[in-house]
Amino acid sequence: MRKLLPRRRLLIEGPGAWLAAGGVALSLLMVLALLALIAGRGLAHFWPPDIEAVTLVSGERFAGQPVREQGLPGQASGSERLYRTGNRDLDGDQWRWVEVNAIDTRTTPEDLVIIERRRWGPFIGRLLRLEGPEAQWTASDGAALWRELEERMARVSQLRHERDALHNHRLEPLAEHVDDSAMSPSEEDELREIKARILALQDAMQRDHVVLESLSGQRLELSLEALIEVKRPNAMSLLAKLASWGEGVWRFLSEGPRAANTAGGVWPAIFGTVMMVLLMSVLVTPFGVLAAVYLNEVAPQGRLTRLVRIGVRNLAGVPSIVYGVFGLGVFVYGIGGSLDSLFFADELPSPTFGTGGLLWASLTLALLTLPVVIVATEEGLARIPDSQREGALALGATRSEALRRVVLPMAVPAMLTGVILAIARAAGEVAPLMLVGVAKLASQVPVDDEFPFIHLERKFMHLGYHIFDAGFHGGDVQAAMPLVYATALLLVLVIVVLNLTAILLRHTIRARHVVQAHR
Amino acid sequence: MADETSPRQAALHEVVQDIPREGRCFEIEELSVAYAGKTALSGLNLYVPRHRVTAFIGPSGCGKSTLLRAFNRLHDLNDDVDRQGRIMLEGQEIHAPEVDVADLRRRVGMVFQTPNPFPMSIYENVAFGLRLQAALPKRRRDEVIEWALESAALWDEVKHRLHDSALSLSGGQQQRLVIARTLAVQPEVLLLDEPASALDPISTLKIEELIRTLKSHLTLVLVTHNMQQAARVSDYTAFLEGGELIEYGATDTLFTNPRLARTENYITGRTDR
Ligand SMILES: Nc1ncnc2c1ncn2[C@@H]1O[C@H](COP(=O)(O)OP(=O)(O)O)[C@@H](O)[C@H]1O
Ligand SMILES: [Mg+2]
């Protein structure tokens, strides 16, 4: 629609040009390497590797998934290999370093299983028997054993679902109600009945057992209730492995964390990150736009305005932890404390708003990103030619009408640019959040079906903090490491998606409101 | 100074006497305007006759635009502008406290040097001023918009694409659109600040034709640096230089028989003074 003049450029030749090109190549390479590393390590985590049955020269046998190999520390030759052997309850550790020279044979028998358990991490070994009350199946039953196992595990998860529903929707509301007032006899009956049903369900979940045996010969009997997933990677076709990979990714995205954040999924953290960023955008946009409009359209353009503008620009450079301290002091202790003593006095001393939470974290980040939004909006406003303002006024518009109907709509793309920059900055911030509301493990996400549906006072999980916590605070570093990569990749993706949404929005609006070019 | 002032006043006096008092749309008395202390207009006295085209000519920077922007109080936006003197529109001082500026600007429309359509559809551009006032039923609004575009000689070119972006029009069409959107709110006066200086000859001709037809029911004030244009379309011409009114008279007289040497020099393009 409008033609662009060919850009006039300074052409540098010789070593200068090579230096400049090299700079670009280096930065590009670094970004790509970073992405490749976290994507590779993060995504590989969900691939089910074969389980090796290893016999050592000493005659000892064990089973495990090879993780990586490295040179022997302090020696010129030889190397050692790390196996994930599971069975932490039997061996005391689920990792094992083995000198490659000490290995006699390695095979991959198809009957080796890896079982994700609710406690003690994975089990690796053989499934000997499945025992039900009426019958039992052994390895010699072949496919029938596995089919039966699958059916019975599905039954357990169905029972678990029933129990959880009973617990959350019947027992808890009743217990809460009973806390407040004395129990009536009918309520007592109801409570007793629900408790009995829950116990019955739990008993039913314990009905079936499996008998397992590790390669070192130790036996283990587990109720199906304790199992999460049973896999035989050695027997899987490539397609089955791919399906298992997809399922792993999906569970990582959709489930909550387990085992002190070193296993399981990150759904609450994704949810918390997105919620916090959205709330932050909703809070920062009106304030930023109002401030920019005041600075650019209303305030007399004197020395004071210039000073304020410089101040705002410099606020963008204040370290984020400083905002965290401010948020803790002013929002959490100051405002939150007063709110508690005014409206939630009967809950005290346990704080409601007087502790970190979603609202305070979003507000703190809104404050942190306010300068970005102000600056971007102001630049957008300054780009609108005066002739547009005068055109509106000359038609009999008042100043506020000219602002509302001509200037602000034309500045919307610039505002969205500000919000995009704000999102990019806020979604990656972790330091201030640690002071104002992020949680290592939040039992409830901040949105549910309970009135008022969005619980701004709740603590929340955050991908950035999850990386920090899983990587450096969990006991099992080897187990946490791939999760750290996967979570890092996810954080990058979440930020990209949030930004793309805003960019798309800006594009749509721009197409509708073509900004007139300067002439 | 003194010996130059008196013949000029006399020259002005003659023109002023030609226009009966009821024929005066704007009356300006002792108008001075300064930007941050720098004088742009000093002690101007002049009448603008109703339903005529009055042209302001003069070298660049002589204060033509400044004068024009005083007519609809656009200077109010700029805190640095200092204005002295009186401007009467139909006998009423436009700076009087009871005058509503927005209403004044609706009565005194203005078209700028560069076309400045809003980045909206053609329809919405013309509807802009209407929407600022009491709501019209859509049928009535559509009629007004058609009439305005018709008056601005643009209707035939855009009637099938009213909802296209105004920015898709050519420069000349954009300028006529701006005129149409000004006409839509039915002003009494139309101020035109070099409306054709950014346009090609054909578009310029169209605008000039338009000016001639509009004067039947509008008072027009035209700023131009193009002497032929002033001669072609205006009934009266005022020559300004250095922020002062040098000569003002019927266009025929001023161009064929200027009273002052300064005017003649400017008209004939001689710069030696
Ligand atoms: N916004 C402004 N601020 C300061 N000085 C101005 C401004 N607009 C015009 N001037 C000055 O006032 C004088 C008259 O300008 P203007 O009325 O635009 O002249 P013209 O339209 O006749 O070319 C010029 O000297 C110009 O530099
Ligand atoms: Mg001018």
Distance, in Å, from the CA atom of A34 to the CA atom of B168, rounded to the nearest integer, reads: 45
Q: What is the pTM of this model?
A: 0.77
For chain B, percent of residues with pLDDT exceeding 70: 90
pLDDT at B10 over 60: no
C-alpha B40 to ligand 1 mean position (Å): 7
* Average pLDDT taken over every residue of chain A: 82
Peptide bond connecting B49 to the previous residue in cis, omega within 30 degrees of 0: no
pLDDT at A197 over 90: no
Amino acid residing at B19: I
Whether ligand 1 lies within 6 angstroms of the CB of B224 is answered as no
Q: Which atom of ligand 1 approaches the CA of B63 most closely?
A: 17
Kindly state the average pLDDT of the residues B267-273.
67
C-alpha B113 to ligand 2 mean position (Å): 8
When comparing pLDDT for A428 and B147, which is higher? B147
Distance, in Å, from the CA atom of B138 to the CA atom of A73, rounded to the nearest integer, reads: 85
pLDDT in tens, A477-509: 777 788 888 888 888 888 888 888 888 888 887
Residue B66's beta-bridge partner residues? none
Task: Write out chain A residues lying below 8 Å of B124, CB-based.
Answer: none
Kindly state the average pLDDT of the residues B127-135.
87
Identify the CA nearest to A100 among candidates A63, A61, A54, A65. Answer: A54
> Best of B71, B75, B105, B133 to disrupt the A interface by mutation (most A CBs within 10 Å)?
B105
Q: Looking at residue B250, what is its pLDDT?
A: 87
Angle at which helices A358-383 and A303-315 cross, to 10°: 130
Ligand 1 pocket: which of B62, B74, B226 to mutate (most atoms within 8 A of CB): B62
- Burial of B182 by CB count in 10 Å (0-12 exposed, 13-18 middle, 19+ buried)? buried
Confidence of residue B3 (pLDDT cuts 50, 70, 90): very low
pLDDT in tens, A152-161: 888 888 888 8
Identify the CA nearest to B26 among candidates B45, B43, B41. Answer: B45
Confidence of residue A179 (pLDDT cuts 50, 70, 90): low
- The minimal CB distance from A514 to the residues B79, B167, B182 is found for B167
Under a CB-based contact definition with an 8 Å cutoff, are residues A122 and A86 in contact?
Answer: yes
Distance, in Å, from the CA atom of A420 to the CA atom of A348, rounded to the nearest integer, reads: 40
Kindly state the average pLDDT of the residues A394-420.
90
Q: Looking at residue A202, what is its pLDDT?
A: 85
Angle at the Cα of A405 from the Cα atoms of A399 and A407, rounded to 5 degrees: 75
pLDDT at B20 over 60: no
- The minimal CB distance from A396 to the residues B77, B106, B114 is found for B106
Please report the DSSP string for B246-259 in residue order: EEEEEHHHHHHS-S
Count Cβ atoms below 10 Å from residue A350 Cβ, excluding itself: 9
Confidence of residue A226 (pLDDT cuts 50, 70, 90): confident
pLDDT in tens, A231-288: 888 888 889 889 988 988 898 888 777 766 566 778 888 888 888 888 999 999 999 9
Ligand 1 pocket: which of B38, B76, B192, B226 to mutate (most atoms within 8 A of CB): B38
Q: Considering only alpha carbons, which residue of chain A is nearest residue B168?
A: A1
Q: What are phi and psi of B188, to 5 degrees?
A: -95, -30
C-alpha B62 to ligand 2 mean position (Å): 8
Number of H helices, E strands in chain B: 11, 10
Q: Which of A224-233, A438-447, B21-30 has the lowest mean pLDDT?
A: A438-447
Q: What are phi and psi of A344, to 5 degrees?
A: -120, 35
Task: Write out chain A residues lying below 8 Å of B114, CB-based.
Answer: 387, 519
C-alpha B9 to ligand 2 mean position (Å): 25
Ligand nearest to the CA of B66: 1
Kindly state the average pLDDT of the residues B102-127.
91
Give how far A508 is from chain B: nearest CA, Å: 14
Q: Collect all residues from A whose CB is shorter than 8 A from any CB in B.
A: 1-2, 300, 385, 387-398, 401, 405-406, 410, 513-516, 519
In the block, tokens 């007139």 appear at A516
Q: Looking at residue A512, what is its pLDDT?
A: 64
Q: What are phi and psi of A264, to 5 degrees?
A: 85, -165
pLDDT at A291 over 90: yes
pLDDT at B178 over 90: yes
C-alpha B231 to ligand 1 mean position (Å): 24
When comparing pLDDT for A92 and B116, which is higher? B116
Q: Which two tokens stand for residue A226?
A: 């304790």
Q: Which of A67-71, A377-381, B42-46 has the lowest mean pLDDT?
A: A67-71
Whether ligand 1 lies within 6 angstroms of the CB of B69 is answered as no
Domain boundaries, chain B: 5-268
Q: Considering only alpha carbons, which residue of chain A is nearest residue B106?
A: A396
Whether ligand 1 lies within 6 angstroms of the CB of B62 is answered as yes
Task: Write out chain B residues lying below 8 Å of A300, CB-based.
Answer: 79
pLDDT in tens, A414-466: 888 898 888 888 888 888 888 887 777 766 666 666 656 667 667 778 888 88
Kindly state the average pLDDT of the residues A359-387.
91
Give A241-246's long-range contacts (Cβ < 8 A, gap of 24+): A241/A47, A241/A48, A244/A48, A245/A46, A245/A47, A245/A48
Q: Which helix (H) or strand (E) holds B177?
A: helix B171-184
Q: Looking at residue A516, what is its pLDDT?
A: 40
Kindly state the average pLDDT of the residues B42-46.
88
Whether ligand 1 lies within 6 angstroms of the CB of B35 is answered as yes
Whether ligand 1 lies within 6 angstroms of the CB of B59 is answered as no
Q: Looking at residue A518, what is its pLDDT?
A: 33
What SS3 class is residue B19? Answer: coil
Q: Considering only alpha carbons, which residue of chain B is nearest residue A519?
A: B114
Task: Write out chain B residues lying below 8 Å of A388, CB-based.
Answer: 116, 118
Q: Which atom of ligand 1 approaches the CA of B194 most closely?
A: 21
Q: Which atom of ligand 1 approaches the CA of B240 most closely?
A: 22
Q: Looking at residue A498, what is its pLDDT?
A: 83
- Range list of β-strands (E), A1-144: 52-56, 61-71, 79-84, 95-99, 103-107, 112-117, 123-131, 136-138
Whether ligand 1 lies within 6 angstroms of the CB of B41 is answered as no
When comparing pLDDT for A351 and B152, which is higher? B152
Distance, in Å, from the CA atom of A426 to the CA atom of A454, rounded to the nearest integer, reads: 21
Kindly state the average pLDDT of the residues A54-62.
86
Q: Which atom of ligand 1 approaches the CA of B60 most closely?
A: 23
pLDDT at B17 over 60: no
CATH entry 3.40.50.300 includes domain B5-268: yes
Kindly state the average pLDDT of the residues A94-116.
85
Q: Looking at residue B216, what is its pLDDT?
A: 87
What SS3 class is residue B182? Answer: helix
Under a CB-based contact definition with an 8 Å cutoff, are residues A116 and A122 in contact?
Answer: yes
Confidence of residue A513 (pLDDT cuts 50, 70, 90): low
A401–B132 CB contact, under 8 Å: yes
Q: Looking at residue A6, what is its pLDDT?
A: 61
